[in-house]
Structure 1
């Protein structure tokens, strides 16, 4: 299993921000734009396309828990 530091290397945002966005998308069946809006409300400016990429890359690992 990959370590968290290696898994999130070369990403602009912290693992906590990425995990929150992916969790919001999967937990509440939101659109990528909906997650983008919620993250902006929390003070994190991230595009819906970035959320989509995160969900493709990290979603399976986060959903396994």
Structure 2
């Protein structure tokens, strides 16, 4: 998504994590983020959830395990 202004404040690695696997109609694969303290993991996770929702992910399926 080229015009995603809400991603502009992320660095290259954070943006890559946010956009990982979001390119089709299926739910993206899980992503493990390992980084040091103060590196922006929480911010990256919040942006990833927002990016999934903007790209059509079903909110309940994104935040909860299936069957809940």
Shorter-chain TM range is 0.3 to 0.5
TM-score (norm 1): 0.39
TM-score (norm 2): 0.38
Please tell me whether Structure 1 or Structure 2 has the larger radius of gyration of its CA atoms: 2
